[in-house]
């Protein structure tokens, strides 16, 4: 709950920033400018999914409210690629769950509505070759660089897909995979930042927080399995 609130607060605090040409996607930490969406959204996908998994009606409302607030912030920033990726990730998580309530579907609809609104807002920022056009820049340096860039991007969602296969009761893995795949595809379709390859610290923070969650989840599962095996009576 605390981590979800912190991630949501981080995202919402961008609206207090004057931004660049009315585009407000960053928060300042001293000399460092962090792209809040790249950091906060993977955390929100994980935590909102975990909260909703409790199947408690109050928890479902909290998770849905967090998702809708985050989607609204992405409209006001505006950030089209993050809004679409966040909506896609939450839908992927939702359709995997056994029980879905009306508020869950409302939250999903709000996310896609927010994506459409964000798409209708013009982005006044000019694309930068080493941010939005990093793959084209790699291609201009030779086929080997282009191939390496594409392979690196294809590997990004792999840990989350593997985790979702191993732990079918945790739906966050495929949601995170959908988020990172959508952000990458969006960067090919239009002038949106390419994560990891073409952006700075922020996507790395978000990605490795998500990857840390995968590693931690797997380690906890192994510990529980070992503990159960240790308590089980020996059979001859």
In this predicted model, what pLDDT tens digit does every residue of 107-118 receive, in sequence order? 999 999 999 999
Q: Phi first, then psi: give them for residue 232, nearest 5 degrees.
A: -70, 145
pLDDT one-digit tens code per residue, 82-105: 999 999 999 999 888 777 788 889
Please state the rounded mean pLDDT for residues 129-149: 72
pLDDT of residue 234: 46
The two tokens of residue 216 are 């931690």
pLDDT of residue 108: 93
pLDDT one-digit tens code per residue, 50-61: 776 666 677 788
CB-CB neighbours of 176 under 10 Å: 31
Beta carbons of 51 and 110 less than 8 angstroms apart: no
Kindly indicate the confidence band of residue 128, based on its pLDDT and cuts at 50, 70 and 90: low
Nearest Cα residue to 42 out of 211, 189, 167, 164: 211
Residue, of 126 and 217, whose pLDDT is higher: 217
Euclidean distance between CA atoms 119 and 194, whole angstroms: 18
Report the range of poorest mean pLDDT among 66-70, 182-186, 220-224. 220-224
Q: How far is CA 15 from CA 11, 24, 26, 36, in A?
A: 8, 6, 9, 11
Residue, of 20 and 130, whose pLDDT is higher: 20
Q: How far is CA 122 from CA 36, 76, 118, 128, in A?
A: 20, 12, 8, 17
pLDDT one-digit tens code per residue, 147-178: 887 888 888 899 999 888 887 777 788 999 99
The two tokens of residue 234 are 């020996």
pLDDT one-digit tens code per residue, 10-52: 999 999 887 777 788 989 887 888 999 999 999 999 988 877 6
Beta carbons of 118 and 78 less than 8 angstroms apart: yes
The two tokens of residue 145 are 């660089």
Residue 55 CB burial class (10 angstroms; 0-12, 13-18, ≥19): exposed
């Amino acid at each position: 709950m605390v981590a979800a609130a912190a991630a949501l607060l981080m995202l919402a605090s961008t609206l207090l920033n004057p931004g660049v040409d009315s585009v407000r996607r960053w928060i300042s930490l001293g000399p460092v400018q962090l792209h809040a969406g790249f950091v906060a959204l993977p955390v929100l996908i994980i935590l909102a999914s975990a909260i909703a998994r409790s199947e408690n009606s109050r928890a479902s409302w909290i998770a849905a409210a967090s998702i809708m607030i985050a989607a609204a912030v992405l409209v006001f920033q505006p950030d089209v690629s993050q809004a679409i990726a966040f909506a896609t990730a939450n839908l992927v998580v939702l359709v995997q769950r056994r029980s879905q309530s009306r508020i869950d579907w409302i939250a999903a609809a709000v996310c896609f509505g927010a994506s459409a609104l964000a798409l209708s807002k013009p982005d006044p920022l000019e694309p930068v070759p080493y941010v939005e056009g990093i793959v084209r820049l790699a291609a201009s340096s030779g086929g080997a660089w282009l191939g390496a860039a594409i392979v690196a991007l294809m590997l990004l969602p792999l840990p989350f897909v593997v985790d979702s296969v191993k732990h079918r009761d945790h739906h966050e893995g495929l949601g995170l995979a959908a988020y990172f795949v959508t952000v990458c595809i969006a960067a090919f379709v239009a002038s949106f930042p390419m994560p990891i390859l073409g952006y700075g610290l922020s996507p790395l923070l978000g990605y490795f927080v998500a990857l840390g969650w995968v590693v931690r989840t797997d380690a906890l599962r192994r510990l529980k399995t070992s503990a159960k095996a240790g308590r089980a009576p020996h059979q001859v």
